[in-house]
Chain A
């Protein structure tokens, strides 16, 4: 991307990115999983990996989707196909740091990172710190209703721990 100083991003765009971050975790935490793929561009990529995998360049992370259809498949499978003990997430996210911004020739684009903490609550009430880490995002401002809408072209979830307790079925 043609980059400009990330601090020069407009207040409107910065706040649109922040709304995207908040809306994303609320959709997941409230069980509105069907909304999850809509935060991505059609060719959007989503991948969860562990810090060690990331550091060592081990690219076969967990829960890899390289387009929106794969995300829709994941959610359908979560709802209808897979066997898992019911649970929900609660994410707490930190402030978003815009690392780079500019244009890809067509759209305004930005690279950003956001810390998260995710607590898992089981159907019987048991709670556990499930994952902490950061989102490393490529965001593109696509034309949408009455203006531009920021979407994720890529979200890499870098979990601090490589351990996963029992299973990872709901996206982080």
Chain B
């Protein structure tokens, strides 16, 4: 327990109204006690959390700061070339050790407050005035520095994506992800050397879970996002589907734009999002090259708890959720190119950054919609959300006209929260 100290037990806080996964009690989006348990049981529990891209710390002794839930974390490339992740909290009084978001040449972390110093493994190496001054003061005889190391996360890397976990109970990363998820990560990155081309810090006016649900909600894209529907970029009438890991914790939703044969639901006048009169003056925005042999043009891979690997046409990137209290969260978008890209391919990726982030033709609406839900539920904490499309379970389905992936998130959530 770290955050949930003095907080009522989860069993008193959340009552799931059904044994199946089809109902979500709305008060879980606004309850500070539940939020405290989420920090402990989800973010600091047996989960792998995305920390950073390996290419952000290319040289020995480079570091970047990140967060796991609310907890500040330092990710450092060690002098030997490995990667360590340490909680950015001095074990003396609790100050952060690093306060610049990145840096290099960092062999030791010295607290700005009283100069306790820690090595790259988190071991406490030095205390200023440990022996006092002139034989007076100082730490007592017997003070054991080895008992005051920084909290260290286990770290694993897959295809340049760095993950960390607080819990000894978390299985190895590839086992946690499951074979279908590992295969898709490898398919998307393909061993290519990543180069960051942009980062957007998107503050969303909603509980973190509402964004994660949105990223797994496979039937909203062509209903909310007129841009997707109108340009037939991601309609349910295109070939696509959902894959998941054996435990149904992680989900991949994908579509193949060029297979779209249409459906009467998309005929003019039926859906707000089908704009017959909307054509781009400059269609180069949605020109793409077929980057993958599987002809998938749109793929969102959502890894429990808060990570998304994105392919929107040729826009490849990561999304990392950072919690910011019950009613707000931050989504950190990082878009990448690859060293082997031709200048033309790089230019297409840059242009397609118009589709993602807080300014994205598509994703700006995900920022808006989370806020709409957070506003709408304010007076009705006792009510329930209904997630029954496609049944009551979280299994993989050959259609995207389903909410199975949202139910999958709550399957994992309930298992982790223990209620």
Q: What is A's interface to B at a CB cutoff of 8 Å? A: 48-50, 52-53, 56, 58-64, 66-67, 69-70, 72-73, 76-77, 80-85, 161-169
Contact = CB atoms under 8 A, between A and B. Distances in A.
Contacts of B353: 60-62, 64
Interface in B330-352: 330, 335, 349-351
A169 B198 CA distance: 18
A80 B280 CA distance: 12
B198 A59 contact: yes
Nearest to B273: A81
A166 B330 CA distance: 10
A58 B198 CA distance: 5
A161 B196 CA distance: 18
Interface of B is mostly: mixed
A83 B365 CA distance: 6
Contact of B365 (A48, A73, A82): A82
A108 to B, nearest CB: 28
Contacts of A169: 359, 364
B359 A164 contact: yes
B199 interface: yes
Contacts of B372: 85
A70 B358 contact: no
A73 B349 contact: no
Interface string B18-56: 000000000000000000000000000000000000000
A145 B12 CA distance: 74
B369 A81 contact: no
B372 to A, nearest CB: 8
17 contacts: A53-B198, A53-B199, A58-B196, A58-B197, A58-B198, A59-B197, A59-B350, A69-B282, A77-B278, A80-B275, A85-B368, A163-B330, A164-B203, A164-B358, A166-B367, A166-B371, A167-B358
Given A81-B230, A82-B226, A166 B368 contact: yes
Nearest to B196: A58
Contacts of B371: 85, 166
A53 B196 CA distance: 10
Interface string B122-138: 00000000000000000
